[in-house]
A = this chain, B = another copy of it.
Amino acid sequence: MPTIKDVAREAGVTHAVVSRILNEDPTLTVRPETRERVLSAAARLQYIPNHAARALRHAKAGAVGLAVHDISNPVYSEIIAGAQTAVASHESVLMLADVDELHRDASAFSRMITSKAIDGLVFLPAGTRADEAVLRAASSALPTVVVNDRAPGVHSVSLDDAAAARMATEHLISLGHRDIGVLTLDGDTHRRIDRLAGHEAALRDAGLRSEANWIENGGHTLESGRSGLHRMASRGPLPTAVAVHNATAALGAMRAAAELGLAVPRELSIIGFHDMSFTGFVTPALTVVRLALTELGVRAVDVVFQLIGGEQVEETSTVVDPAPELVIRESTAPVSER
């Protein structure tokens, strides 16, 4: 690996000149001829500046962290993909961290957060204890932004959860359903509250009552969605339609419906949240509200970089473009007589 000095020697100048030419220092005036020599020497030696040295000098890591619980969650992977491209456009790299590990292992935490290994942190909370602790510690040490939720005193970018949830429930209402249940998120998150509020607002606007028996936690996993519907069923007659505030949980709910001997959508309409890759491929294909997950990742990273750059940023922002969109497939149908 050639260093800047090798290039300097090769071009017959000092390393300082090489640095200024390569970094296009505007205050520098050089003979085109010298510049040429330096450039070609750099190219010939395939010189690439050393990341660590730069980081040390600039007091900047050139990296942004991404703290997440469960990479295999498809919702997260879409956000991550957005973050990934955004980070690249800021000439940085993405470091992945597991929130639970950060919480469990102090050395992992310091390696990542407090050692200036990253310039900022994007945090995907799930509403756990670990979340709260890690987030508090991280945000006091670094520019931090919470994605897909809000947190007091921390910058965040989220989706219009209330509007999206309202859209889901209104779709069910428009199909004639009057008995509508909800499998909402669990965990202590704002998006849970907002989605539930959107659901209830839709009900209220339609003059429908929100039945306590039909409000249940569905979480964001297959199993939590499945057990959520089972719990609801165990409490009495099911509604004719259920809004599930997560697509993965919606698939779990579909499984539960099958286990209960209920035909979807004839006997039970199910609408999900997020247009994951599998939603169009299961049978019946899942009707969902599609949200701008990739954009969410992009925006979060943008905010982190604004913060790093010392800019003033609104503490909370919402991704409204692209807007939530109803994707009607097969899992919802007009209410039928029973």
Query: Smallest CB-CB separation from A92: which chain B residue?
Result: B111
Residue A101 at the B interface, CB < 8 A? yes
Residue A324 at the B interface, CB < 8 A? no
* A84 and B98 contacting across the interface, CB-CB below 8 Å: yes
* A115 and B56 contacting across the interface, CB-CB below 8 Å: no
Residue A61 at the B interface, CB < 8 A? yes
Copies of this protein in the assembly total 2
Interface set, chain A 135-158, CB cutoff 8 A to B = none
Interface set, chain A 65-104, CB cutoff 8 A to B = 66, 71-72, 74, 77-78, 80-81, 84-85, 88, 91-98, 101
Of B50, B95, B281, which contacts A251 at CB under 8 A? B281
* A48 and B101 contacting across the interface, CB-CB below 8 Å: no
A300 and B283 CA atoms in complex are apart in Å by: 36
A222 and B74 CA atoms in complex are apart in Å by: 14
Residue A288 at the B interface, CB < 8 A? no
Residue from the set A81, A93, A221 with the largest chain B CB neighbour count within 10 Å: A93
Residues of B within 8 A of A51 (CB): 55, 61, 111, 115-117
Residue A245 at the B interface, CB < 8 A? no
Residues of B within 8 A of A28 (CB): none
* B88 and A117 contacting across the interface, CB-CB below 8 Å: no
Of B55, B97, B255, which contacts A93 at CB under 8 A? B97
* A53 and B50 contacting across the interface, CB-CB below 8 Å: no
A78 and B70 CA atoms in complex are apart in Å by: 10
Residue A12 at the B interface, CB < 8 A? no
Q: Could you mark each residue 256-282 of chain A with 1 if its beta carbon is under 8 Å from any beta carbon of chain B, else 0?
A: 001000000000000000000110111
A residues with CB within 8 A of B: 1, 46, 48-53, 55-56, 61-63, 66, 71-72, 74, 77-78, 80-81, 84-85, 88, 91-98, 101, 105, 107-108, 110-112, 114-117, 221-222, 226, 248, 251-252, 254-255, 258, 277-278, 280-283, 285
Further pairs besides A93-B95, A94-B96, A252-B281: 16, Cβ < 8 Å: A1-B116, A48-B110, A53-B56, A55-B56, A77-B77, A84-B96, A84-B97, A85-B98, A88-B101, A91-B107, A94-B95, A255-B281, A255-B282, A255-B285, A278-B278, A282-B282
